[in-house]
């Protein structure tokens, strides 16, 4: 058995996504099983939705790898729960690597599927692969999905996807395009958090009213 570089990235990403789910579940006092489910859904939910939308067999149903990763993530939180907050930077990097990896996987799976989808559809599928698991996680813990409110998260996937497309248009192969996409996703996310970049917040209609009253 030889382990590829992609498999290592997949492992890191799955672990980080699962841990993010399990941490939020534990903040809401979920039991072990509930935390496991939330962790698993965070890790594999995006890819599952992608595969259901593409009409292809669901990626994890033939391979226990993702279930085992999530079990390791649960163990990690149970053992190191108290110290997780000091590991925040590490998990942020791992989570970002996962985001990049899942985006590339989603794009490539869409392009190689029988549907002959246009490139923008592949970018959407890449974004769903990277970001939808976190949306499911937030729905499960009954919070407004984080990615809708702050941080540049899903947008990093979209820009990364565009970088993939531009690389292909420029004549590069899928390996270079995948690396370009991953680097852009990671760079965007790291810069966004480092410099507290975020998208403009939409004004609600109540805000206009308050403004007039002032």
Binding residues (CB under 8 A) for a second copy: these are 22-23, 25-35, 37-38, 48, 52-53, 55, 57-58, 61-62, 64, 67, 77-78, 81-82, 84-85, 115, 117-118, 120-121, 124, 135, 139-145, 147-150, 152, 154-155, 198-206, 208
CB of 46 to a second copy, least distance (A): 13
Question: Closest separation between CB of residue 154 and a second copy, Å?
Answer: 6
Between 1 and 85, name the residue whose CB sits nearer to a second copy: 85
Tokens (6 digits) for 146: 């984080």
N- to C-terminal Cα separation, the chain: 69
CB of 140 to a second copy, least distance (A): 6
The rounded distance, in Å, linking the Cα atoms of 160 and 164 is: 6
133-154 exposure pattern, b = at least 16 Cβ within 10 A, e = fewer: bbbbbbebeeeebbbeeebbbb
Q: Which is nearer to a second copy, 3 or 85 (CB)?
A: 85
Rounded to an integer, what is the distance from CA 46 to the centroid of its chain? 7
Extract the tokens encoding 182: 């991953």
Q: How far is the CB of 175 from a second copy (least distance, A)?
A: 26
The residue (of 9 and 74) whose beta carbon lies closer to a second copy is 74
Task: DSSP letter for 76, please.
Answer: H
- CB nearer to a second copy: give 3 or 202: 202
How many of the other CB atoms lie within 10 Å of CB of 26? 20
């Amino acid at each position: 058995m030889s382990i590829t570089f992609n498999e290592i990235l997949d492992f890191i990403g799955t672990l980080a996504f699962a841990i993010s789910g399990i941490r939020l579940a534990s903040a809401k006092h979920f039991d072990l099983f509930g935390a496991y489910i939330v962790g698993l859904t965070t890790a594999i939910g995006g890819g599952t939705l992608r595969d259901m939308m593409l009409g292809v067999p669901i990626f994890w149903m033939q391979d226990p790898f993702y279930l085992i990763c999530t079990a390791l993530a649960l163990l990690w939180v149970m053992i190191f729960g108290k110290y997780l907050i000091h590991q925040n930077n590490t998990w942020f990097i791992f989570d970002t690597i996962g985001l990049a990896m899942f985006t590339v996987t989603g794009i490539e799976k869409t392009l190689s599927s029988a549907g002959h989808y246009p490139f923008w559809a592949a970018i959407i599928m890449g974004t769903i692969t990277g970001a939808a698991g976190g949306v499911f996680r937030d729905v499960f813990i009954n919070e407004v999905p984080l990615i809708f409110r702050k941080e540049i998260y899903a947008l990093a996937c979209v820009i990364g996807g565009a970088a993939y497309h531009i690389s292909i248009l420029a004549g590069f192969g899928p390996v270079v395009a995948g690396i370009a996409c991953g680097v852009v996703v990671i760079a965007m996310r790291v810069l966004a958090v480092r410099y507290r970049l975020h998208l403009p917040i939409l004004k609600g209609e109540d805000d206009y009213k308050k403004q007039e009253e002032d």
